[in-house]
Structure 1
Amino acid sequence: MVSSSHEAMHRLFQHDHGVFTRTARALGYPFSELVDASLMPTDCTTPDALERRIDTLLRVDTHGSEGSFLLAVEAQSAKDPDKPGSWAYYAAFLREKYDLPVLLVVICNDRRTAAWAARPVDFGVPQWSTLTVRPLVLGPHNVPVVTDPDVARDDIPLATLSAITHSKDANAGAILKALAAALKTVDEDDAMIFAELTERGLGKTPAAATWRKIMAADLSFFRSETAQKLRAEGREAGRDEGRDEGRTEGRAEDVLLLLAQRDIAISDSVRERVLACTDFDVLEGLFIRAIRATSAEELFDEAAPTAARAEGASDSRA
């Protein structure tokens, strides 16, 4: 199952396409200033029905020596011996399909995982390597530690990436305080999105508790999942069933609120369908889709089958 932390690590690149270029340049890699970038289909499935999907795929256009290339972003939270093979497949498939150079970037929030992912992996026989996979790894070993609110304010996506990749470090608290201060200086819509991505990216680390305390200081401004949980728990303390219902209802309202703040029209049928959903996991998926959706109906492009199963399961239990 895909974790929330996993989602945040690569979805940040969907929300701000230039965060990779700026981070890479901060690390000394000579990438040119981004001119344009667009999301690409992540499906690498072949006719043999084996589903293969990259976490995030962007086409990046620059005026520099790189020209145009594909940026394939993978989030990796633990070692997986099968991953290098998948990465090799992605790189070869994308190069053949789009006739563009491919840059594989792996995002890690654990130093051991980052060290493992950064090792070149050869494919071939001992005498000769036919293919070598060497991803560019961004993690706690090289992503800048952003603890200055002014620096965080200048590049909130980079500060968010810093918070996520350093979530297990001792200085995580200082990074989160700088990010929280920076979020108060930007549009509330953007602040909510980056607060949500940060929360998901922290996962179940001790830093998550620190972030909850920071968010609780001003619940009227920060309306991330953390704020919703704190309000629901305060209203429903000691009543398990009521708390679960309040949590689900609150998440449904979050989905509609996010669409409204992005000036996306919500039809009565979509509104009723969201509010009628009683499966929190399905609502979580709808919220993530609402961050990038261009229409309210787009929420159910992929989530509808899951919602239908959840509703069917509820009917059978009844």
Structure 2
Amino acid sequence: MPSVVHDTLNSLFRNRPELAAELLRDRFGVHVPPDAPVHVTTSDFNDRPSRDSQADTVILVGSSRDPLHGIIVEIQQDVDDSKRRGLARYAAALWLRLDRPVSVLVVCPNPKVAAWAAEPIRTTLPGYVLSAEVLGPALIPKVTDPAQAADNPELAAISVMAHGRHRAVVTAFMTALEKVPLDHAPHYYEYAHRLASPAARRILEEIMSSTTWPVYSPFAREHFGKGLAEGRTEGQAESLLTVIHMRGITVPGEVKERIMSCRDHDQLDTWLQRAVGATSLDEIFGAD
């Protein structure tokens, strides 16, 4: 079942898929071709009518016509042995599709789940054993340098999730927002806020309300506040699209536009609740 953390992490990778390639290179030593375009592609691996072959996010390194490397990103918050077969199937299907190297990156906010996900996945196909690259709290860097946080705000937000109990991590993230375009800063703040523990959220809110935070002018605070409200509804819209996608429902362009342009928090929440158990768009939007 999708959750706020699950959907937020997916949004970070979908909004800047280069993050996956960077993590594989920098944290795991995987050879992912540098200086090549990186983009999100379809995550549907169904070869028969089913709902069990949708990866969270699939990323291609290289051009769409001639990719160099495939990356499957899965967000795993709980131990679920049924997912292991799915990961092996995703990797095999993407390899067959691309005939190129494929990496599976599993992001686990919980250390126990990370240890479970790191175990090799043995299949009934002779010789096929999948070992995923698992990004657990121990491998997520503590980003305490505001300059590094500004260069990679997605990684800084994930660092807040894993290490938000360290005030220096939260302070670096908030300081970095001064260097992020003012119309983007609210979105990154909302990402971090959704990923953070209650203790880290208190630090985030304390810094934002203080006079020492760089965005301190009345105009900037008003602009940031408006942006934050817009960021929250945009985050809801992204979560709604993710849930619909996970339900295996196709979203036409006009429906996506309706969702992304909606600024009514309550309406988006209503649609999101309906989407969790929906099998068609009519079940989500038919009553409106």
Q: 2-side partners of 1:162 and 1:254: how far apart?
A: 19
Q: 1-side partners of 2:119 and 2:235: how far apart?
A: 41
Pairwise CA distance, 1:81 = 1.2
Alignment of structure 1 residues 41-56 onto 2, 5 Å: 41-56=42-57
Pairwise CA distance, 1:278 = 4.3
Partner AA of 1:120 in structure 2: P
- Other structure's SS at 1:162 match: helix
Residue 200 (1) aligns with residue 206 (2) = no
Query: Which of 197, 206, 212 in structure 1 is aligned with 2:205?
Result: 212
Contact 1:282 1:303 in 2 (8 A): no
Question: Following superposition, which runs of at least 4 residues in structure 1 exceed 6 angstroms of deviation?
Answer: 253-256
Contact 2:262 2:268 in 1 (8 A): no
Q: 2-side partners of 1:10 and 1:76: how far apart?
A: 11
Q: 2-side partners of 1:3 and 1:250: how far apart?
A: 18
**Aligned Cα root-mean-square deviation (Å):** 3.6
Partner AA of 2:285 in structure 1: A
Contact 1:7 1:201 in 2 (8 A): no
Pairwise CA distance, 1:57 = 0.7
Counterpart in the other structure of 1:57: 58
Counterpart in the other structure of 1:237: none
Q: 2-side partners of 1:222 and 1:139: how far apart?
A: 32
Pairwise CA distance, 1:4 = 1.1
Counterpart in the other structure of 1:76: 76
- Other structure's SS at 2:43 match: coil
Q: Find the structure with the greater CA-based Rg.
A: 1
How high is the sequence identity, in percent, across the aligned residues?
25
Q: 1-side partners of 2:5 and 2:50: how far apart?
A: 28
Contact 1:77 1:110 in 2 (8 A): yes
Pick 1 or 2: higher relative contact order, CA cutoff 8 A, min separation 6.
2
Distance 1:303 1:206, change over 3 A: farther
Counterpart in the other structure of 1:103: 103
Cα deviations across residues 55-79 of structure 1 (Å, max 9, x unaligned)? 11111129xxxx7111110011121
Pairwise CA distance, 1:191 = 1.6
Q: 2-side partners of 1:251 and 1:159: how far apart?
A: 19
Distance 1:147 1:270, change over 3 A: same
Counterpart in the other structure of 1:263: none
Cα deviations across residues 232-274 of structure 1 (Å, max 9, x unaligned)? xxxxxxxxxxxxxxxxx99669989xxxxxxxxx9xx959x83
Q: 1-side partners of 2:231 and 2:12: how far apart?
A: 24
Cα deviations across residues 190-215 of structure 1 (Å, max 9, x unaligned)? 2222222222222x543233323334
Residue 141 (1) aligns with residue 129 (2) = no
Query: Which of 173, 180, 195 in structure 2 is aligned with 1:179?
Result: 173
Gaps of 5+ in 2: 211-215, 238-253, 274-278
Pairwise CA distance, 1:30 = 5.0
Partner AA of 1:72 in structure 2: I
Contact 2:46 2:53 in 1 (8 A): yes
Partner AA of 1:53 in structure 2: Q
Partner AA of 1:281 in structure 2: D
Pairwise CA distance, 1:151 = 2.1
- Other structure's SS at 2:139 match: coil
Contact 1:9 1:164 in 2 (8 A): no
Pairwise CA distance, 1:49 = 2.8
- Other structure's SS at 2:134 match: strand
Partner AA of 2:144 in structure 1: T
Contact 1:251 1:284 in 2 (8 A): no
Pairwise CA distance, 1:2 = 0.7
Counterpart in the other structure of 1:113: 113
Residue 190 (1) aligns with residue 184 (2) = yes
Q: 1-side partners of 2:231 and 2:68: how far apart?
A: 43
Counterpart in the other structure of 2:285: 308
Q: 2-side partners of 1:112 and 1:123: how far apart?
A: 23
Residue 18 (1) aligns with residue 12 (2) = no
TM-score of the pair, normalised by structure 2: 0.73
Counterpart in the other structure of 1:36: 37
Q: 2-side partners of 1:9 and 1:255: how far apart?
A: 13
Contact 1:18 1:34 in 2 (8 A): no
Partner AA of 1:220 in structure 2: E
- Other structure's SS at 1:161 match: helix
Residue 279 (1) aligns with residue 267 (2) = yes
Partner AA of 2:62 in structure 1: D
Partner AA of 1:186 in structure 2: V
Distance 1:200 1:162, change over 3 A: same
Contact 1:44 1:52 in 2 (8 A): yes
Distance 1:84 1:190, change over 3 A: same
